[in-house]
Amino acid sequence: MGAAAGYVAKGGLNQEAIAKVSAETQKLVSAAKSGGFKISEEGVKPLREALANMSEELSALKIKTMALNDAPQLGGHPYGKAVAAHDHKGAAQSANSASAVIGQFEQVVKDADEALARAAGLYKGVEESAIDATKKVQA
């Protein structure tokens, strides 16, 4: 089991925790955009590799938790249906469901990678290439 899967299994990730991490990550993105946070390309490399690994782990975890999107089959009687509906709501439909939290955490990882890329000056080149491509299409 990878680090992300282990953390989720222990209940360490929930909507509140992700919201806090997301807010701090947005501060990092803002600081990088304004030039208040700089890092060398060499220095950022292992950090971005760790984020890429985390992204892969989260993608694998998302696949493993897809079964939670289906309500459990607990029989056709009213009690079985009620328990199945309750379990399904908590597992797949609530704000703290595995799929919701994993999706939010994936966004945090993407934002952190953007912040690091910007801080290393790597993002600007990508941004300029996109602008150039857009100008060529419009011309």
Per-residue confidence at 45, pLDDT binned at 50, 70, 90? very high
pTM of the model: 0.67
pLDDT 10s digits, 64-119: 887 777 777 888 888 888 888 887 777 766 777 778 888 888 999 999 999 999 88
Contact between 117 and 44 (Cβ < 8 Å):
yes
Return d(Cα 50, Cα 54) in angstroms, integer: 6
pLDDT 10s digits, 18-40: 888 888 888 988 888 888 878 88
